Structure 1
Amino acid sequence: MPKFTEEEKEHIRQSLLVKGKELFVKYGLAKTSIDDIILACGIGKGTFYKFFPSKEELYYEILKNEEEVKKTVLNELFREKLSPKELLTSFFHTSFQLVEENPFLQRAFQDGEHERLARKLPKHIVEQFSKEYTERGIQAVNILIERGVLP
């Protein structure tokens, strides 16, 4: 198996993330195969497996990247000095707008994609995601409590 330079590894990884995202948006998780992904990236199947153990783990990595963008935008919103009503309104508006503008996030919660992903991912990854998501939710609620938006 060929050895890749760090630059080549990064290029392949980015290609997998970009092309994988395009395919998942277009066809969904169930109908996108590893063969589709490697063909789009111009790599061999063995190379794919050097980066991701499964297409579900690639999908999860893309989802995590999308969640980070959403988290950054929402964190900026919490830094603004808004009244409680404006903050809550902006929070929901921004959340829905982020999903509306992001075909990958739209697809992630359609046609059972999220449930399929949860079934196919290793248990430790699902548990870690759940823990992180819960912690972020608690942080958001605490900020809303501190600002007087929630009792």
Structure 2
Amino acid sequence: MATAFSDNEKELIRKKLNEVAQVCLWKYGVRKTTVDQIVQMAGISKGSFYNFYASKEILFFTVLEEYQKSIIDELAGKLQEEYIGIDKFAELIYELYQNVRQSFIMNIIQNQEFEYLIRKLPKELIINHHSLDDTLTKKIFSHIKIKDNINIDVVTASLRAIFMSMIYIEEIGEKDFDEVLRLLIRGLALQIIEEDYNNDRNY
């Protein structure tokens, strides 16, 4: 018989599973992590784990989405704090991507496990994730003056494409990758942000 958890216990278990998942992604990656490892580290039974997540892949995907939300919220907060032109926007996006490179996500990127993870997920989760990408992007661009006739969906896809370039750091060249990343981000910023933004508002 499944153990009944209080709402507080459920929240604590979810938090613990989130922490354990990040550690496992850092150390082992998606493929090499087992549910047995996760439950042992979290201090719960295997049956209890499946009350929260149908698979380890769904847990990992949930953790990735929560991380994405946190860094986007942080970025949105910075966009509200000060004037944002092309240079500042490019700098903030570059910093965001560099933060990702220092996170547990980088192990998944280096091991090329994104595609593997996606294949293991229900289709509706992927659809919902793309909807989340769109929502978060619109949240960011609500604080920036965008040029007329810019398709935000295309901007979202462009940011995703730049992010996915980190899968190919070795092929691109590790020595030059940071400059390539800066160039790609600034190129996007130049195309989407109103060029005369400096004159549009008084600070």
TM score, norm. by length of structure 2:
0.65
1:37 aligned onto 2:83? no
Distance in 1 separating the partners of 2:3 and 2:137: 43
- Deviation of 1:149 (Å): 4.9
Query: Bigger radius of gyration, 1 or 2?
Result: 2
Same amino acid, percent of matched pairs: 28
Q: Report the alpha carbon displacement of residue 138 of structure 1 after superposing the two structures with TM.
A: 5.0
Asked whether the 8 Å contact 1:66–1:105 carries over to 2, the reply is no
Is 1:125 paired with 2:125? Answer: yes
Structure 2 unaligned spans of 5+: 148-192, 197-203
Q: CA RMSD in A?
A: 2.4
Amino acid at match of 1:126: I
Distance in 2, matches of 1:68 and 1:83, equals 21
Pairwise CA distance, 1:119: 0.6
Task: Give the CA deviation at 1:81.
Answer: 3.2
Find the counterpart in structure 2 of residue 19 from structure 1.
20
CA contact (8 A) 1:88 1:149 kept: no
Please point out which of 127, 145, 148 is paired with 2:194. Answer: 148
Q: How much has 1:108 moved relative to structure 2?
A: 3.3
CA offset at residue 144 of structure 1? 4.8
Q: Is the 8 A contact 1:19 1:40 kept in 2?
A: yes
Match of 2:107 in 1: 107
Q: Tell me, in whole angstroms, the C-alpha distance in 2 between the residues paired with 1:139 and 1:125.
A: 21
Residues 1:68 and 2:69 are matched in the alignment: yes
Point out where structure 1 has 5 or more consecutive residues left out of the alignment: none
Specify whether residues 117 and 148 from structure 1 end up closer, same or farther in structure 2 by C-alpha distance, changes over 3 A only.
Answer: same
1:94 aligns with 2:140: no
Q: How far apart, in 1, do the equivalents of 2:14 and 2:73 lie?
A: 23
Equivalence for 2:79: 78
Separation in structure 2 between the aligned mates of residue 120 and residue 8 of structure 1, nearest angstrom: 28
> CA offsets per residue over residues 17-40 of structure 1, 9 Å max, x none?
111211111100110000110111
Distance 1:24 1:126, change over 3 A: same
Q: TM-score scaled by structure 1?
A: 0.85
Give the Å deviation of 1:42: 1.8
